[in-house]
Structure 1
Amino acid sequence: MIRKLFLLTVLLSVSGNLLFAQDRLINKADEKYRDYSFSPAIDIYKRVLDKGYTSADLLMKLGNSYYFNADYKEASKIYKRLLDEYDEGIGPEYYFRYAQTLRSLGQYDLSKEAMTQFSQMTSADVRANLYAMERDYLAEIANNSGRYKVGTFEYNSRYSDFAPTFYKQGLIFSSDRDTGNLARYRHTWNSKDFLDLYKVNVDSSSLNKVVKFGGDINTRLHESTTVFTKDGNTVYFTRNNLFDGKTVKDKKGVVRLKIFKAVKENGVWSQIEELPFNSESYSIAHPALSPDEKLLYFASDMPGSLGQSDIFKVAINSDGTYGTPVNLGNNINTEARETFPFVSSENILYFSSDGHPGLGGLDVFATKISQNQYIGSVLNVGEPVNSNLDDFTFIINEETRNGYFASNRNDGLGDDDIYSFVETKKLEFDCIKPITGTVRDKISNEVLVGATVKVIDEKNEELVSAISNSNGQYSIEIDCNQGNFVRASMQGYVPSEEYLSISDSKPRIIDFYLERDMVTAGYGDDLAKLLQLSTIYFDFDKYNVRPDAEIEIQKVIAAMEKYPSLKLKVTSHTDSQGNDAYNLWLSQKRAESTVSYMISKGIAKERLQGEGFGETRLVNNCVNGVKCTKAQHQLNRRSEFLILE
């Protein structure tokens, strides 16, 4: 009995020591994990796992370490084990990442099952909504595939080469290649050397070496992703957070990324300064410029980000200052990673994402920027640019259709490689063109309320319609990838339309001036009312045509010139002031005066008649003996234009 108790004590002591050693290893691995030192964290977690210890937390962190190092095969194994052994209480993010790793392995059916579980757990997630749509995203990707002919880049190394940028007749790119220095600086995210910027003239006949980018831009830490102004004298680039040559860590001990700016003077890059919206507590990286160089795009995890990194824009003011960073919104950004933006000369935003439906890992996506809006369709550019691993830092020259991107696909020379390509067929984006305008009467110029404006395609099918408001205004949108007819119509008017061919998405104003349909006008109709004319008034006890009346009568004359068969009877009236006989004579003179004016303007007298009705057809109750205002009496001193045939 004593011997058994002694053995049990020894075993408990050994077990306790083993547990203590195991806890120390896990604590050390967790410390590396928190510092984003994923490579050493993986080594330690694996040692603990090989000793037979496991937990949900360990598997989460080990899977994430593989995932963020783009080792999707190993990440998939660990995530599967996590979800199989600890399915209770595991957050939806791990189902999403597991689905991503399965896609990178080409296991799309299993990936779909994992995404279904993810969607069921978080319906408010942008990614869940994208995948929950009734769409076959693989078919969409296949439809966009085959637009690029991919080639090699002969200056790749066995290290990591990525982030190509057009610069003069060549390229600037980022690499952790061995430059022959005895002092090697390594970062612990993936145990690779720190990145520097390199230069190569890709169209030169003496392409036998790659050189480091000059000046003081390269340091012993990371420099990557660049963008140059068109004149080649200003560069924005990504660098680790430095102060006086030393790294600066945030409260969590993380060295963040910042965007810096440098200016070239007398052939030397100098005046290196960080941008004012950088921060010690979050990263800002991967700059890109708009075609007019008035906007700077970048990726960041700053407050307000939807996911692990979002794409933002910031205005570059004319005085060299900067505006406030603006998130591009959830049509672009998801809860995952959106990064490495590039804007082409045709205002197409390219970026990499693992949140939008793709083939696995980071895929390259594109969207057309219209009127500083980022609400258009987001297209996966398809194979062969995209693969089942990470594809990123896409750039293209819209004039030559040549470009470059980077990928960690398996057929590469190094960890990341640059590939060249030629675009053989452009992407086809949804093209939404806003159309606004006003509908008016062609002769009177009065606005027409309640007119219908329709968009009709070339197959004569109605696509959309709108009704003009109280100001005669309408607003519609058309698909500018195809030809469309925009047609305005209203009862009693001849429809009018304009054809719009395939165009860009710039807004267009189309005002319609509709003509009265005289075919529908009948005997006895008042043409003045049909034309929405102002009433033809006369001064008290006068029968000459007033200047304001001339304007309206000219519109009647225009209608008679357009319709040569149209005949009119001018009927004139007086107020009740004065005796009845006199008023009858005065009204006849007014009718004759109006007819004479129209004849003097070229209307044949055979097409006109005139008759006065005195005070027999008053429009109000201002009869004899009733006291009325001048304005009320004025309403009765008028001429009308009745259609005869």
Structure 2
Amino acid sequence: MGKSLLKVVLLFLTLLLSHSFYAQSKKVEKAKSQYDRYEYIDAQKTYLKIIEKGYKDADILKKLANSYYFNSQFEDANKWYKEVLDTYPNDIEPEYYFRYAQTLKAMKQYKEADVFMDKFTQLVENDQRVKLYNDQPDYLERIDFQSGRFKVENASINSPFADFGTAFYGDFVVFASSRDTLIMRKNVHQWNDESFLDLFQANYNPENGELGEVEKLSRVINSDFHESTPVFTKDGKTMYFTRNNYNKRKVGKDNQGTIKLKIYRAQKNDKGKWTTPESLSFNNDEYSTAHPALSPDEKTLYFSSDMPGGQGLSDLYEVAINGDGSFGEPKNLGEKINTEGKETFPFVSQNNDLYFASDGHTGLGGLDVYVTRLDPQTEEEALIVNIGKPVNGPKDDFAFIVDDTSKRGYFSSNREEGAGSDDIYSFLEEEELRRPCEISIEGLITDKDTNELLPGTKVSFFDSSNTLIQSVVVGEDGTYTYPKVACTAQYFVRAEKEGYITEEKLVNTPPNGVQTIDTPVALEKQVKPATFGDDLAEVLSLKTIYFDFDQSYIRSDAAIELAKVIEIMNEHPQMKIEVGSHTDSHGDANYNLMLSEKRAQATVAYMIEKGIAEDRLTAKGYGESKPINDCVDGTRCKKEDYQLNRRSEFIIVK
């Protein structure tokens, strides 16, 4: 091949590769634009085409997985989350461990889901979901305890399309459906590739919960966009409902060009017709407000929103309805209810029970339905409780409503046995919410220094007035159990064994629950061997001796621990020790060395003042030079790991 021909071929290949790279870059840009506009179905198609061409990175995989996750397509989301976790483990934000765990729950893989929730909790601090997960390691047992209280049936009005979000309305139940809008308007919503929702009503029989003939609600209410999740006043003259940002034939969009959701109000005129809906005053083009619910006295409106200042993806809010029909300022319901996940679809029963759907509280997967009392009179009523199976399952379960008198109601779900993407399910609540108290206290008795089991230890249980209830002797397995203790009570567990210091622990039991409170007890020997090179801080199990920031004087809490060292040295007048002070790796190394030297000298000076001879003490500052873990310059560690390196040592040198 001649040189000229070779140059032409190379130039052709270069142009071909450049064109291919440019084409893929344009597709990635297009997919991102679709994703940012919540056009998840289109974004999925574009991302899949890019990946089929062999182009992928962490960002592409994460957005593809998210487009399935936010559309409740959990099995598809699981596939792509797994690939990004396996392929790009260093490019993963902690939130992806949470989402992957949720998709595993949706596939009933709860043990595997807990593995990734454990990873999530290790990486994230000050997250309500972490606290809830850590507080309820037995969440599956708790859910099982509440399960079986409802008799559930698939409602007869379901269609092959989306049907969800019911509301009681006199002799009717009103719900949202996309059953005929595709035929009539030939358009679909790009979020989930389904036609837009309208409101329909079905005849309602309160005796058996059966739903009859279905007809579309007023044309004044239904528009060319979404309408859903209504709520009606008891007199049937006022309704609040969710609609896309569409008013007076005009569409409102946020700064990104996205049509958000708003809550609208309509009222019946003298002729019994619905008036033109009005947008509520706290709506905003830049965020969504949706899924209204009314308090029993109809003076408070509850709703879901992603407005700024919330906890997570969507929070629950309340707003006062003034006597003139105006509204107060929306108030967030707080971290007791809201998490960094989604809280949505509120409903308030006549008993003032707040039901809502959440994927942030610990559940079975997707959205689960929870309940709490809005005006709790006891700690039990204040608890947030997963209402259990069969209402809740591994997929999305939401939009729960109930008539407290008949105990009949409805909820919505995208579970697999349904007729469409979302379906309405009727239920009869056959049993009240269970307030359990099945709690036991158990634990392992070990040697504090060796971790060896201590059979033969006497364990005694005392009530809050220090009255002995029961004593047991620990067997060869080193464990004790005290079953069926009272809820909302206080107990003392005392462990005694010859040659060991008696130890006592306080146990506070919760208001209810089905759980075991693990209360291990580690006993310390009364006499401990110590020799050359041992650290008295370890031998005596001293608490960490702290200094105030950038200071070297002895604090009162440090003086208590130093008194133990001084007592040992008084008992052994030939003992000599080196007082060593260590810092963590934060700050300048030379400064840390100087600061640790000053702290060691201050400790020695304090002990001399308390009567220890000067020639028995040596001060040595080590700064950050001798860490006991890998938390050194250039690494990132947890706060508590850095703290382990900030220590004082009392090394026996004679």
Corresponding residue of 1:486 = none
Q: Is the 8 A contact 2:155 2:211 kept in 1?
A: no
User: Match of 1:218?
Assistant: 222
User: Residues 152 and 418 of structure 1 are in contact (CA less than 8 Å); yes or no, is this contact kept in structure 2?
Assistant: yes
| Aligned partner letter, 2:389 | E
Provide the residue aligned with 1:277 in structure 2.
282
Deviation at 1:335, TM superposition (A): 0.3
Matched, 1:57 2:67: no
Contact persistence 2:203–2:213 (CA under 8 A): no
Distance (Å, rounded) in 2 between the aligned partners of 1:30 and 1:236: 35
Offset at 1:158? 0.3
CA distance in 1, matches of 2:64, 2:272: 48
Correspondence for 1:378: 384
- Return the alpha-carbon distance in structure 2 between the equivalents of residues 481 and 17 of structure 1: 66
Is the contact between residue 224 and residue 237 of structure 1 (CA under 8 Å) also seen in structure 2?
yes
**Superposition pairs for residues 414-433 of structure 1, below 5 Å?**
414-428=420-434
Residues 1:351 and 2:356 are matched in the alignment:
yes
In the superposition, relative to structure 1, how do residues 112 and 180 fare at CA in structure 2: closer, same or farther (>3 Å)? closer
- Specify the code of the residue in structure 2 equivalent to 1:351: F
Cα distance in structure 2, aligned partners of 1:114 and 1:481: 28
Go from structure 1 to structure 2 and tell me whether the alpha carbon gap of 1:113 and 1:163 turns closer, same or farther (over 3 Å shift). same
Q: Measure the CA separation in 2 of the matches of 1:412 and 1:463.
A: 45
SS in 2 for 1:96: helix
Conserved? CA contact 1:215–1:268, under 8 Å = no
Residue 7 of structure 1, CA deviation: 2.8
Q: 1:197-216 counterparts in 2 under 5 A?
A: 197-203=199-205, 209-216=213-220
Query: Quick check: 1:306 aligned with 2:305?
Result: no
CA distance in 1, matches of 2:239, 2:377: 23
2:249 — aligned with what?
245
Counterpart-to-counterpart distance in 1, 2:429 and 2:487? 34
Alignment of 1:154-193 (within 5 A): 154-178=156-180, 181-193=183-195
- TM-superposed CA distance for 1:155, in Å, is 0.7
**Could you tell me whether the CA contact under 8 Å between 1:376 and 1:430 is conserved in 2?**
no
- The 1-side partners of 2:10 and 2:131 are apart by 57
AA paired with 1:332? I
Partner of 2:529: none
Residue pair 1:368, 1:429 contacting (<8 A) in 2 also: no
Deviation at 1:371, TM superposition (A): 5.8
| Deviation sequence 1:505-553 (CA, Å, 0-9, x none) | xxxxxxxxxxxxxxxxxxxxxxxxxxxxxxxxxxxxxxxxxxxxxxxxx
Name the residue aligned to 1:32: 34
8 A Cα contact 1:296 1:313, kept in partner: yes
Aligned partner of residue 410 in structure 2, secondary structure: strand
Structure 2 residue corresponding to 1:286, chosen from 282, 291, 295: 291
Counterpart contact for 1:194–1:222, Cα < 8 Å: yes
Instruction: Give the one of 380, 403, 414 matched to 1:397.
Output: 403
Q: Is the 8 A contact 1:160 1:415 kept in 2?
A: yes
Distance in 2 (alpha carbons) for counterparts of 1:339 and 1:54 = 34
Deviation of 1:89 after TM superposition, in Å, equals 3.1
Aligned partner of 1:77 in structure 2 is 79
Cα separation, 1, equivalents of 2:377 and 2:82: 42
Q: Aligned partner of 1:407: which letter?
A: S
Matches within 5 A, 1:53-132: 53-132=55-134
- Mapping of 1:126-165 within 5 angstroms? 126-133=128-135, 135-165=137-167
User: What is the rounded CA distance, in whole Å, between the counterparts of 1:70 and 1:372 in structure 2?
Assistant: 37
> What TM-score comes out, normalization by structure 1 length?
0.66
Give 1:244 shift.
2.6
Q: Contact 2:488 / 2:511 at 8 angstroms: preserved in 1?
A: no
CA distance in 1, matches of 2:176, 2:265: 16
User: Residue 323 of structure 2 is aligned with which of 318, 323, 330?
Assistant: 318
Rounded to whole Å, the distance in 2 between the matches of 1:128 and 1:382 is 21
One-letter code aligned to 1:200: A
Contact persistence 2:487–2:512 (CA under 8 A): no
Q: Is the 8 A contact 2:181 2:196 kept in 1?
A: no
Query: SS state of the match for residue 267, structure 2?
Result: strand
Does the C-alpha gap of structure 1 residues 214 and 91 become closer, same or farther in structure 2, counting only changes over 3 Å? same
Task: Look up the equivalent residue of 1:358 and give its one-letter code.
Answer: G
Report SS of the residue matched to 1:60: helix
Q: Which amino acid aligns with 2:231?
A: V
Assess, with a 3 A threshold, how the Cα gap between structure 1 residues 197 and 116 changes in structure 2: closer, same or farther.
same
| In 2, Cα distance between equivalents of 1:377 and 1:84 | 38
- CA 1:242 to 1:429, structure 2 compared with 1: closer, same or farther past 3 Å? farther
* Distance in 2 (alpha carbons) for counterparts of 1:404 and 1:355: 22
- 8 A contact 2:181–2:198 mirrored in 1: no
Deviation at 1:131, TM superposition (A): 1.1
Query: 1:134: Cα distance to partner?
Result: 5.3
Pick the aligned partner of 2:44 from 42, 45, 55.
Answer: 42
Alignment-derived partner of residue 259 in structure 1: 263
Post-superposition CA distance 1:373-398 (Å, at most 9, x none): 99921111111001111111000011
Compared with structure 1, are the counterparts of its residues 45 and 145 closer, same or farther at alpha carbon in structure 2 (3 Å cutoff)?
Answer: same
SS in structure 2 of the partner of residue 210 of structure 1: strand
Distance 2:316 2:404 in 1: 22
1:293-332 C-alpha deviation (Å, 9 max, x unpaired): 1110000011111000000001112222211111111110
State the match for 2:343 in structure 1: 338
CA contact (8 A) 2:182 2:195 kept: no
Q: 1:367·1:429 contact (CA, 8 Å) conserved in 2? A: no
Which of 409, 413, 420 is the equivalent residue of 2:415? Answer: 409
Separation in structure 2 between the aligned mates of residue 373 and residue 247 of structure 1, nearest angstrom: 47
Shift of residue 183 of structure 1?
2.6
Q: Who is 1:530 aligned against?
A: none
Query: What's the CA shift for 1:214?
Result: 1.5
SS at match of 1:33: helix
Question: What is the CA-CA distance between 1:199 and the residue it aligns to?
Answer: 0.5
Counterpart amino acid of 1:232?
G
Distance 1:234 1:421, change over 3 A: same
> 1:269 is paired with a residue of what secondary structure?
coil
SS of equivalent residue, structure 1 residue 268: coil
Superposed CA deviations along residues 91-115 of structure 1, whole A, max 9, x for unmatched, are: 1111110000000001111111111
Give how far 1:464 is off.
7.3
* In 2: Cα distance, 1:321 partner to 1:292 partner: 16
Alignment partner, residue 545 of structure 1? none
Alpha-carbon contact 1:257-1:284 (below 8 Å) kept: yes
Preserved contact between residue 347 and residue 368 of structure 1 (Cα < 8 Å): yes
User: Which residues of structure 2 form unaligned runs of 5+?
Assistant: 438-463, 468-484, 492-508, 514-654
Provide the secondary structure at the position in 1 that maps to 2:274: strand
Letter in 2 for 1:114: F
**In 1, are the aligned partners of 2:203 and 2:212 still within 8 Å (CA)?**
no
In structure 2, what is the Cα distance between the partners aligned to 1:199 and 1:179? 15
Q: Deviations over 1:1-27 (max 9, x none)?
A: 624443332222211111111111111
Q: Which amino acid in structure 2 is aligned with residue 262 of structure 1?
A: A
Structure-2 separation of matches of 1:323 and 1:371 = 24
Letter matched to residue 299 of structure 2 = K
Tell me which moved more, 312-321 or 284-293. 312-321
CA shift, 1:187, in A, is 1.2
Identity across the alignment (%): 46
Q: Deviations over 1:139-189 (max 9, x none)?
A: 111111111010121110000000011111120000111258443232100
Distance of 1:168 and 1:121 partners within structure 2: 50
For residues 47 and 383 of structure 1, the distance between their equivalents in structure 2, rounded to whole angstroms, comes to 40
Go from structure 1 to structure 2 and tell me whether the alpha carbon gap of 1:261 and 1:354 turns closer, same or farther (over 3 Å shift).
Answer: same
- The AA in structure 1 aligned to 2:319 is V
